[in-house]
């Protein structure tokens, strides 16, 4: 599965801790992240992560493009709801794309833990069916 890891500045430490706690699950998947978040997680955990631009510089949009092509299976996005974000329209668009393409999205640690345990138990494997159908349509 392809998993995006994103965090606003005030939530980066939380996502690093989450990624550390669940590194044994995350290491079994293909990971993507926005710039600084990906660097911090990689340094703390040793996980291999494809890093996009930082969120305000287009990283959210790069992940959104993958979602729009059904190339992202889960998004863990620790948002800071108490701080205004200069790229809020990009964040809103990313969340909307997750809804449009039925990509599981966690915006806080509680939901992220439910998703990561579901991933571990195979409850997200329905995404593989979507990939198979997509490949069949490309033949």
Q: How far apart are CA 131 and CA 54, in angstroms?
A: 27
Burial of 71: CB neighbours in 10 Å, binned 0-12, 13-18, 19+: middle
Please choose, from the candidates 25, 37, 54, 38, the residue with its C-alpha nearest in 3D space to the C-alpha of residue 112.
25
**Residue 56 has what pLDDT?**
82
Q: State pLDDT tens for residues 119-130.
A: 999 888 777 777
Q: pLDDT grade, residue 4 (50/70/90)?
A: very high
Q: What is the CATH number of the domain that holds 7?
A: 3.40.50.1380
Domain count, the chain: 1
- Of these residues, 9, 14, 60, 99, which one is catalytic? 60
Domain that holds residue 92: 2-137
In the chain, the N- to C-terminal Cα span, in Å, equals 22
Q: State pLDDT tens for residues 83-99.
A: 888 778 888 999 999 99
Catalytic, 60? Answer yes
The mean of the pLDDT values for the chain is 92
Q: How far apart are CA 8 and CA 13, in angstroms?
A: 10
């Amino acid at each position: 599965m392809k998993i995006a890891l994103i965090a606003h500045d005030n939530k980066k430490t939380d996502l690093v801790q989450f990624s550390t706690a669940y590194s044994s699950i995350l290491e079994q998947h293909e990971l993507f992240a926005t710039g600084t978040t990906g660097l911090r997680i990689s340094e703390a955990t040793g996980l291999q992560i494809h890093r996009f631009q930082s969120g305000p510089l287009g990283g959210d949009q790069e992940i959104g493009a993958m979602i729009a092509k059904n190339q992202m299976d889960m998004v863990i996005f620790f948002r800071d709801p108490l701080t205004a974000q200069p790229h809020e329209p990009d964040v809103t668009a990313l969340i909307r794309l997750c809804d449009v393409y039925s990509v599981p999205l966690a915006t806080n640690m509680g939901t992220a833990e439910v998703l990561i345990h579901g991933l571990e138990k195979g409850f997200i494997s329905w995404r593989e069916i979507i990939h198979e159908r997509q490949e069949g349509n490309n033949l």
